[in-house]
Amino acid sequence: MVQRTGDGAGMAVEDWSDGVMEQDKAKTSPPEPSRRSFLKKVWMVLGFVALAEFIGLVVAFLKPRKPRIKEGDFGGIITAGAVDDFAPNSVTAFRQGKFYLSRLEDGGFLALSRKCTHLGCTVTWDSEKKRFECPCHASAFDNKGNVINPPAPRALDLYAVSIENGIVKVDTGRKAQRKS
Ligand code: FES
């Protein structure tokens, strides 16, 4: 705003525009303290979010994990059955467990992987010939898994067998490789 005072020649001009603009600025921009308190609130909210995420991570880390492999599934412990269910000199296939349970003449048990040690084809048990045969390249193994016909380079792998209260259990998560 411009205000004129005095006579024509010596007229003084007062410029109020700065004052008006200052007033306008004061009207349009929020007062400094409220902007500070707004920023303070934003930081508090962000802090709470970060804290909640951190607590969530800690809880997830400390929470006991469910076993990925259930008992009875391949990779876990499979209950094969009672010892007396398996006759000496017999071989029983466990498809779900991907192994054969071979009961030897002396009453012992071997859990043999069904994976051929040549290139991994699935071997089958021939009950007449009393041997495992691979359909891919004709490898053959006896009932202990030993190679009786190459090209398989070594015996069939073994899974850990345990007997608890007369029940045979096979741990398909523990496989042992044999050298020959
Ligand atoms: S994969 Fe079994 S003989 Fe080749």
**Each residue's pLDDT tens digit, 65-116:** 766 666 667 788 899 999 999 999 999 999 888 999 999 999 999 999 999 9
Residues 86, 167: one domain? yes
Supply the range of the domain harboring residue 33. Answer: 2-62
Q: What is the CATH number of the domain that holds 170?
A: 2.102.10.10
Residues 22, 99: one domain? no
Q: 128 CA distance to ligand 1 centroid (A)?
A: 21
Over residues 146-169, the mean pLDDT reads 95
Range with lowest mean pLDDT among 64-68, 133-137, 138-142: 64-68
Residues 170, 82: one domain? yes
Give residue 33's identity as a one-letter amino acid code.
Answer: P
Q: CB neighbours of 76 closer than 8 A, spacing ≥ 6?
A: 67, 69, 70, 171, 172, 173
Q: Is the pLDDT of residue 62 over 90?
A: no
Query: Which residue's C-alpha comes closest to atom 3 of ligand 1?
Result: 137
Q: Tokens 């891919």 label which residue?
A: 136
What is the reported pTM?
Answer: 0.63
Domain annotation covers residue 10: yes
Residues 81, 132: one domain? yes
Q: 21 CA distance to ligand 1 centroid (A)?
A: 91
Residues 58, 83: one domain? no
- How many domains is the chain built from? 2
Q: What is the position in ligand 1's atom list of the atom closest to the CA of 138? A: 3
Q: Is the pLDDT of residue 21 over 60?
A: no
Give residue 29's identity as a one-letter amino acid code.
Answer: S
Last residue of a domain, one of 33, 62, 91: 62
Residue 82: other Cβ atoms inside 10 A: 12
Q: Is the pLDDT of residue 15 over 80?
A: no
Q: Is the pLDDT of residue 7 over 90?
A: no
Q: Is the pLDDT of residue 12 over 80?
A: no
CA dist., res. 157 & res. 116, Å (int): 9
Q: Is the pLDDT of residue 139 over 90?
A: yes
Give residue 126's identity as a one-letter amino acid code.
Answer: D
Pocket of ligand 1 (CB under 6 A): 116, 118-119, 121, 134, 136-137, 139, 151-152
β-pair partners for 3: 14
Residue among 116, 133, 154 whose CB has most ligand 1 atoms within 8 A, to mutate: 116
Q: 104 CA distance to ligand 1 centroid (A)?
A: 24
Q: Is the pLDDT of residue 22 over 60?
A: no
Percent of the chain scored above 70 by pLDDT? 78
pLDDT score of 93 = 94
